[in-house]
């Protein structure tokens, strides 16, 4: 695995274990942008998304498991599967694509 893929894998692990906001704070550059299709840039909403996820999902939150990665230069594309459980016990699984740009080993 190349260095950029390893950095992205570590970032997704941190997002799953610490939460997206903390992962972005620790591994994101000053210019980090979290963009969601249909919503646009949600970077400033990450604290609110954390609270919303805590209301929806059990204590594990949203676990993002990379299925495959393609890296070229400073760009890494990730296909991942979310593994979440709602408070009522129902499972929520979704396939998500991430397009990540790295700069100086930061997301």
pLDDT digits (tens, 9 = 90+) for 51-63: 888 888 888 888 8
CA neighbor of 42 nearest in space, from 51, 33, 31, 50: 33
pLDDT class of 1 with cuts at 50, 70, 90: low
Angle (nearest 5°) at CA 100 between 98 and 103? 170
Reported pTM: 0.79
Please report which confidence band the pLDDT of residue 87 belongs to, taking 50, 70 and 90 as the band edges: very high
| Cβ neighbours around 26 below 10 Å, total | 14
d(CA 66, CA 76): 12
User: How big is the chain, counted in residues?
Assistant: 107
- Say whether pLDDT at 82 is over 70: yes
**Mean pLDDT, rounded, for 96-102:** 89
Q: What is the mean pLDDT of residues 74-97?
A: 91
What single DSSP character describes residue 59? T
Instruction: Please state, in angstroms and as integers, the Cα–Cα distance from residue 104 to each residue in 30, 63, 98, 99, following that order.
Output: 11, 26, 19, 17
**Which pLDDT value is given to residue 81?**
92
């Amino acid at each position: 695995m190349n260095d950029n893929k390893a950095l992205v894998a570590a970032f997704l692990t941190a997002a799953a274990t610490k939460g997206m906001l903390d992962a972005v704070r620790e591994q994101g550059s000053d210019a980090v942008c979290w963009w969601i299709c249909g919503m646009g840039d949600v970077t400033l909403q990450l604290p609110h998304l954390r609270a919303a996820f805590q209301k929806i999902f059990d204590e594990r939150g949203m676990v993002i498991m990379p299925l495959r990665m393609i890296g070229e230069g400073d760009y890494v594309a990730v296909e991942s599967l979310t593994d979440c459980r709602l408070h009522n016990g129902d499972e929520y699984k979704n396939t998500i694509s991430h397009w990540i740009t790295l700069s100086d080993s930061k997301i």
